Amino acid sequence: MFDVTLPTSTYDFTTEVKYYLRSYRAYFDVRFALENYPAEGMTLSRWKVYWAGVCSLLKTSIHMMRHDARSCLPGPLKETLVSSWNELRQNKSQYPLFWDFIDRERHNILKEYEFSAYETYLSPDGKQTYPSLLESIDLQGVLLIRGGTYDGRDALELAKEGASWVGSYLDDTMRRAGLDPDERVTSRQFLKRQTGQPDAPTDRPRPIGGRLANYLAGQSATDESDEDEKPTGNDPA
């Protein structure tokens, strides 16, 4: 959508606070993918591509918190982004949904090309089947996770649960920085917040510079010199 690290001279736009974070924009994309799951005519090959994208975006949503912490964002927000990321790393046992599902599944797919949620799924009659890669399959929301903490869980429902957790974690991070994720603010105002500078009106005149500034400075000096040379009422005629 946009990159808030752009210089302040770029076009001024208005959007919700949450969309200034790459992490939230990645979360928005995975939520869109889950809400628009193409159930009709899904083949196993298409499912694998879809599932790889969903799991990768879920992990990216959290991983991008580190990038956002180095971006052009308000200082308090960068601090809470760092603390939220460190909290996940230092207390892994408290976040099984991230470490035992999101991080694990993404790693297995991209590093090992192993899918927990495709080799075994239930057909409409309730039996486990193993379709060919190009066979059209009717998943009907019963594609199951195989192995690990969430063994036997509905894959799509678990992904939605993971996305819900990611969204809440990001919202909480913004609120701890004193920000309302849904507040609409201009890019100019948002960038100013990091330096503590007051919001400036967008129609403020630009400062004069270059040759025109030098010319006006010279004229000002000449005017002051003329004032010094003007006769006063006490001067002799």
Query: What are the strands, taking DSSP E only, across the chain?
Result: 14-16, 121-122, 128-129, 184-186
Q: If you compute the radius of gyration of the chain from its CA atoms, what whole number of angstroms results?
A: 29
Distance CA 87, CA 170 (A): 13
For residues 148, 154, 160, 162, the Cα torsion angle rounded to the nearest 10 degrees is: -10
pLDDT of residue 125: 59
Per DSSP bridges, beta strands 14-16 and 128-129 are unpaired
Q: If we measure between CA atoms, which residue out of 27, 5, 21 comes closest to residue 165? A: 27
Three-state DSSP class for 128?
Answer: strand
**Alpha-carbon gap, residue 175 to 70, rounded angstroms:** 19
Q: What is the pTM of this model?
A: 0.70
Quick check: 225 and 213 in contact, CB under 8 A? no
- DSSP 8-state symbol, 144: B
Distance CA 156, CA 137 (A): 15
- Tokens coding 211: 């040759």
Per-residue three-class SS string for 136-186:
ECCCCCCEECCCCCCCCCEHHHHHHHHHHHHHHHHHHHHHHCCCCCCCEEE
Cα dihedral 181/187/190/194 (nearest 10): 130
CA–CA separation, 69 vs 200, rounded Å? 25
Exposed e or buried b per residue across 73-93, where buried means at least 16 C-beta atoms within 10 angstroms of its C-beta: bbeebbebbbebbeebeeeee
**Scanning the structure block, which residue is given the tokens 């019963």?**
142
| pLDDT tens, the chain, 237 aa long | 444 544 445 568 899 999 999 999 999 999 999 999 887 777 778 888 999 999 999 999 999 999 999 998 989 999 999 999 999 999 999 999 999 999 999 998 888 778 777 555 555 555 555 544 444 555 444 678 888 899 989 889 999 999 999 999 999 999 999 999 999 999 888 877 654 444 444 444 444 445 545 544 555 454 444 444 444 444 444
| 8 A C-beta contact, residue 66 and residue 83 | no
